[in-house]
Amino acid sequence: MIDFVGKKRWFFLISAIAIIVAIISLAVFKLQPGIDFAGGTSTTINLTPKVERSESPQLQAQLRQEMTEFGHPEAIIQFQRKTSDFFVRMKFMSPEEVNELEDRLEGVFHRDVEISVPLEMSPTIAAKTAHNAGIAVGIAAIATLLYIAWAFRRMTKPFRWGTCAIIALIHDVLIVIGIFSILGKVANVEVDAMFITGLLAVVGYSINNTVVVFDRIRENMSKGISPDFAVTVNSSLIETLQRSLNTSLTTLCVILALFLFGGATIHHFILVLLIGLLAGTYSSLFIAGPLLVVWEKGEWRQLFSWLPFVRKPV
């Protein structure tokens, strides 16, 4: 039998490094706000001869490709059916850039291209909305903690179970945000409204996974399979391993297909789900359960004994 719980320090170490890197990156690089949060400019692109309704999706795909190569992958492009123009919202664009883009598009489309004077646009999502979403998730997490504590009320310390589930959740969310902060720095990846939605899904996935693992520990506790809590947790992890892997693999099928073959506009959104799925599977197996063991056995101090200022256990 593999001893997962015995290797818990390694798992904690990996997570601790990931989280510290995430926090440092967040503090230093922050997140790159997309046009949903930061605003930008809007313009209409008109082609002559005019774009027919039937050719608009194909031309739009081409236009997005050109905008991406022109340094505006964030552009939201909408075809306007009455005027047959493309309405484009993007980050700030100067008049010189507009001229350059006009020439470039004329070369690609072999039509006359006219781009209207860009107008400044305010954010569509106030910082307050993102803030509110955060508070809503916080309150939802507290409600979840209370329910888990109630569901595990037969256990000796039910609140520990709820707390460990929430720690696993924070772990997953921090890793996703941290990676996006790094990607923002190195690849100019921006966060938008879809990012918030993606985080919500990560939260839901994380809680679901942890509860399933905890359920098995609870069952094995009441069966009394071992007097040693660490052994109970370890066999529960092994028993649920197949289920955890299979559930993750099935979800991964869908997410990976969307990531590899899906449209460019949801690429970053799917990336949030992908990272969240991996982090969530990891934390439900190697963080939430082992944390319970550490807490149960009072090994907190031992865990931090490598720190110079922590008193060594006797």
Total residues contacting another protein (rule CB under 8 A)?
79
Find the shortest distance in angstroms from Cβ 174 to another protein.
18
Single residue of 12, 29, 70, 79 touching another protein by CB under 8 A: 79
Give kind and range of the element (H or E) at residue 42.
strand 40-48
77 near another protein, judged by CB under 8 A:
yes
Q: What share of the chain is helix, strand, coil (3-state, %, to 5)?
A: 70, 10, 20
Find the shortest distance in angstroms from Cβ 74 to another protein.
12
How many other CB atoms are found less than 10 A from the CB of residue 168? 28
141 near another protein, judged by CB under 8 A:
yes
The span from the CA of 220 to the CA of 239, in Å, is 10
Provide the 3-class DSSP secondary structure of residue 49.
Answer: coil
Amino acid type, 144: T
Buried-state track 235-272, b at ≥16 Cβ within 10 A, e below 16: bbbeebeeebeebbeebbeebeebbeeeeeeeebbbbb
Stretch that binds another protein, among 21-29, 59-67, 107-115, 172-180 (CB under 8 A): 59-67
Stretch that binds another protein, among 18-26, 113-121, 291-299, 304-312 (CB under 8 A): 113-121
68 near another protein, judged by CB under 8 A:
no
Segment 212 to 271, residues that bind another protein, using CB under 8 A: 212, 214-216, 218-219, 239, 242-243, 246-247, 249-251, 253-258, 260-266, 269
116 near another protein, judged by CB under 8 A:
no
The span from the CA of 85 to the CA of 97, in Å, is 19
The span from the CA of 51 to the CA of 233, in Å, is 63
The span from the CA of 187 to the CA of 172, in Å, is 22
Give kind and range of the element (H or E) at residue 110.
none
Which two structure tokens, joined as six digits, stand for 125? 């999502």
Taking the least distance from each CB to another protein, the nearer of 88 and 182 is: 88
φ/ψ (deg, to 5) at 120: -70, 140
Taking the least distance from each CB to another protein, the nearer of 56 and 302 is: 56
Stretch that binds another protein, among 90-98, 105-113, 122-130, 225-233 (CB under 8 A): 122-130
The span from the CA of 191 to the CA of 38, in Å, is 10
Single residue of 19, 21, 23, 121 touching another protein by CB under 8 A: 121
Single residue of 23, 114, 123, 302 touching another protein by CB under 8 A: 123
158 near another protein, judged by CB under 8 A:
no
Single residue of 20, 28, 61, 310 touching another protein by CB under 8 A: 61
The span from the CA of 140 to the CA of 243, in Å, is 26
Site string for another protein, 179-218 (x = CB under 8 A): --------------xx-xxx-xx-xxx-xx--xx-xxx-x
Stretch that binds another protein, among 75-83, 182-190, 289-297, 305-313 (CB under 8 A): 75-83
Taking the least distance from each CB to another protein, the nearer of 153 and 297 is: 153
Taking the least distance from each CB to another protein, the nearer of 82 and 311 is: 82
Residue 55 DSSP code: G
